[in-house]
Structure 1
Amino acid sequence: MTTFLGLGLAGIALLALSLVFGNVLEGLFGLDGLLDGWLSLPVVAGFVSMLGFTGVIVLGTSGLGVGAATAIGIVTGAAAGWLTWKLSRALMRGQTAATPRGDDLVGTPGSVITAIPADGYGEVLVRMAGQPVKLAAKSKVPVTRGTEIWVEAALSSTSVAVRPVER
């Protein structure tokens, strides 16, 4: 029973080390990419800890021997390793939305927060990806504060050309 308990604790310690140090251990020993997939440290840690703790449970709650405890531990350890592998793959493949770009602002409505003179810049507030964004704005005609505008072009990452909305 002590051996199984030691395996369970060693598996948890290995999991903690793999979470804290990540791929540093693999890099130190020149194993980059070798321990991916089924041989990754979290998968091995899940297998070893489940093998150990299942062995302790089987020995402590039943009259089965060490061989049966080991066999049952291997089966549950393999299931834990497989589940760890599947979950880590799903987390690594997590897709994010495309990053908004300046050109995505073209055609966006907004409002003037600092008046725009005919020969200079003012400020407008528009929504980009659902977030309010304050940008420098230039217009061919003077635009007063509070006027609703339409973005015509992205001049840079922080400035746009606008025109007032005509109603």
Structure 2
Amino acid sequence: MRGMEIAGYTIESIYLFLLIAGVILTFLYIFVGELIEGMMDISGDGIINPITVIGYITLIGGLGYILETMAFFMGSGLILLVNLVVSAVLIVLVNYFIILPVKRSEKSTSYSINELKGTVGEVYTTIPAEGFGEVVISRTHGTVSKAAKSFDNEDLPEGTKVLVIDIDDEGVFHVSKHYD
């Protein structure tokens, strides 16, 4: 039994083309996807986003090719219908249970360095009056370690509780001794 043809191409070759195109698009997305999303202002938080579209194309190609070559008891039209439905269900499940939770966790763990102004930390490496040391600040999602210098030009030994007063353009914290 010969498979279905669309525009002179066998359905198997179309599925194979979609699979290869999906893989190529996946690699392109890995390398330039963030740039494209930023330029086009695509949030990627809905059902339709670049990851799900590329995944859907890849699933249709891969699943269609496998079913077309292995499922001899089904016609090409039924395989196409089953393929479209199963691929849609799978990509929606992947989107809701994997992609969206990962994107949300990325957003919740990111912070702006300016958010650390006014926070209390601890001197990890002694800060001399006219030099640099290191400060560690505990956050909900881990700790932040940054270079620091004394705001008041006084020695701040290791273990001293400090308050972040300012942050300069290079990201160096200007800290002052914190009194509980």
| Superposition TM-score tier, normalisation by shorter sequence | 0.5 to 0.7
TM-score (ref. length: structure 2): 0.57
**Contact in 1 for aligned 2:19/2:61 (Cα 8 Å):** yes
Aligned runs of 1:1-167 on 2, under 5 Å? 1-22=12-33, 24=36, 33=42, 37-63=46-72, 64-86=74-96, 87-94=98-105, 95-96=108-109, 101-105=116-120, 110=123, 113=126, 126-129=135-138, 130=143, 131=145, 134-136=148-150, 138=152, 149-151=160-162, 154-157=164-167, 158-162=173-177
User: Structure 1 residues 67 and 96, CA, compared in 2 at 3 Å: closer, same or farther?
Assistant: same
SS of structure 1 residue aligned to 2:59: helix
C-alpha distance in structure 2 between counterparts of 1:127 and 1:34, whole Å: 33
C-alpha distance in structure 2 between counterparts of 1:160 and 1:80, whole Å: 52
* Largest Rg, 1 or 2: 1
Who is 2:9 aligned against?
none
Percent identity of paired positions between Structure 1 and Structure 2? 17
- Residue 85 of structure 1 deviates from its aligned partner by 2.9
User: Structure 1 residues 163 and 54, CA, compared in 2 at 3 Å: closer, same or farther?
Assistant: closer
Return structure 1 stretches of 4+ with deviation > 6 angstroms. none
User: Structure 1 residues 24 and 109, CA, compared in 2 at 3 Å: closer, same or farther?
Assistant: closer
TM-score (ref. length: structure 1): 0.61
**Contact in 2 for aligned 1:51/1:74 (Cα 8 Å):** yes
Unaligned runs of 5+ in 1: none
SS of structure 2 residue aligned to 1:38: coil
Deviates more, 1:67-76 or 1:90-99: 90-99
Deviations 1:12-55 (A, max 9, x none): 2333333434263996xxx7659973332321221122122212
Corresponding pairs, count: 151
User: Structure 1 residues 62 and 13, CA, compared in 2 at 3 Å: closer, same or farther?
Assistant: same
SS of structure 1 residue aligned to 2:149: strand
- Residue 74 of structure 1 deviates from its aligned partner by 1.1
Unaligned runs of 5+ in 2: 1-11, 168-172
SS of structure 1 residue aligned to 2:136: strand
